[in-house]
Amino acid sequence: MKLTLPKTYSQNDPAWKNKVLGTQGTIGHYGCLITCVAMVSTYFGHAENPESINTYLTNNNGYVNGNLYIWNTITKKYPDMVYQGIVRTPDSLTQTQMDTIRSIIDQGFPLFLKIDVIPSTSKLDEHWVLGVDYDGDDIIIQDPWDGAEKRITSWGMAPQKIIYGYGYYSGHPLVFAEETSKADPEVVDVTSIKTAYQNLQNKYNTLQIEYEQTCLSVDRLKKQISHDNNSDELTNLLEVKYKELDSKVKNLQNNGSPINPQLNTTNSSTKSALQSKKLIVGMSSNILSFALILFQTAQIKPGDDWKNISIKLLGAAITAFGISNVASQYVKSQGLVDTAALTENIIQ
């Protein structure tokens, strides 16, 4: 099967060709292997290039003897890239080894191939390329020297005689994740999870900002209310309303109030009805005071949009809750409504 690399790189790209490889040499001269590592990393869904790979390896003991690549270092950064080792082949490849090479490609894993780029000499002129397909015994490779796709036979020799080593990283590459997730809904696409998580994180950050802005708006509203010149007027208005409520309670008492010596002789249904009246009176009192403060402090104006109205009502509700409690204590202390006595007599 033909493997498609998301990114192809050349070690001689001006962006990094003159960068020091590890601690000696340059990527342009000796960076064929890490350029292949960068391409395979992108195949597994990781944003890398030869320069970024080189920087990581340099800073994380990824080289030995200056610039010789330590194969399992990238696995420490990306555990999904599982190093499967390198098979050294000083002699010509056997048919079994050629079958293994084709099998690795068929499994969907790009194959690191160490070749002799000048096979006509006795010296091994080492160069690393990536096997991405095959045609019989011929291997289709991605050459990091110039970033081009080629046949390995373009060096003028059969693959069995030009290949001196091969190896790969296994795992679940990005390309396979996308293909299998379409065929099998139970297969999880790691990239989609990362994207979904980032979207949720962005939404959370937005909500956090809105929450903080709302809190600031409420704080400003509360400060404005606390310095409002009409606060005395509001208190006086509350006192008047509680006096009106007290008057209504007294009228209720005079017209068959539950505060009555004969209450003890009434049946259970009568007591239940009286208790309901007590709840209605209490709830009416709380609702009246809370609603009064809420709409007094909200200061909603014509033309306010829904967000301003919501913030105003929220701030007003917080303030109203606090003021209504204070007002209730004030009414009790002044004896305007003896709620404790009222409750005690109702439940006798």
Say whether both 298 and 167 belong to one domain: no
- Where a domain ends, among 187, 208, 240? 187
Say whether both 56 and 169 belong to one domain: yes
Say whether both 293 and 173 belong to one domain: no
Q: In the structure, what pLDDT confidence band is assigned to residue 186 with cuts at 50, 70 and 90?
A: very low
- Residue 4 forms part of a structural domain: no
- Residue 49 forms part of a structural domain: yes
- Residue 296 forms part of a structural domain: yes
Are residues 48 and 174 in contact, defined by beta-carbon separation less than 8 angstroms? no
Are residues 116 and 125 in contact, defined by beta-carbon separation less than 8 angstroms? yes
* Count of domains forming the chain: 2
Distance (Å) of CA 131 to CA 9, 35, 71, 298: 14, 14, 17, 72
User: What is the average per-residue pLDDT within 302-313?
Assistant: 66
- Residue 224 forms part of a structural domain: no
Say whether both 236 and 340 belong to one domain: yes
- Residue 129 forms part of a structural domain: yes
- Residue 2 forms part of a structural domain: no
Q: For position 39, which CATH number holds?
A: 3.90.70.10
Are residues 82 and 75 in contact, defined by beta-carbon separation less than 8 angstroms? yes
Positive or negative torsion for Cα 14, 16, 19, 24: negative
Give residue 84's domain range.
Answer: 27-187
Q: Which of the pair, 134 or 316, is modelled with greater confidence?
A: 134
For residue 66, the SS3 value is coil
pLDDT tens digits, 81-118: 999 999 998 888 999 999 999 999 999 999 999 999 88
- Residue 245 forms part of a structural domain: yes
Type of residue numbered 301: K
Are residues 168 and 111 in contact, defined by beta-carbon separation less than 8 angstroms? yes
Q: How many CB atoms lie within 10 A of CB 297?
A: 24
What's this model's pTM, rounded to 2 decimal places?
0.52
pLDDT tens digits, 197-248: 666 666 666 666 666 666 666 666 556 655 655 556 656 666 676 677 667 6
Are residues 133 and 124 in contact, defined by beta-carbon separation less than 8 angstroms? no
Say whether both 140 and 261 belong to one domain: no
Are residues 106 and 1 in contact, defined by beta-carbon separation less than 8 angstroms? yes
Distance (Å) of CA 115 to CA 23, 49, 133, 170: 24, 22, 16, 21
- Where a domain ends, among 187, 211, 238? 187
Between CA 172 and CA 40 the distance in angstroms is: 12
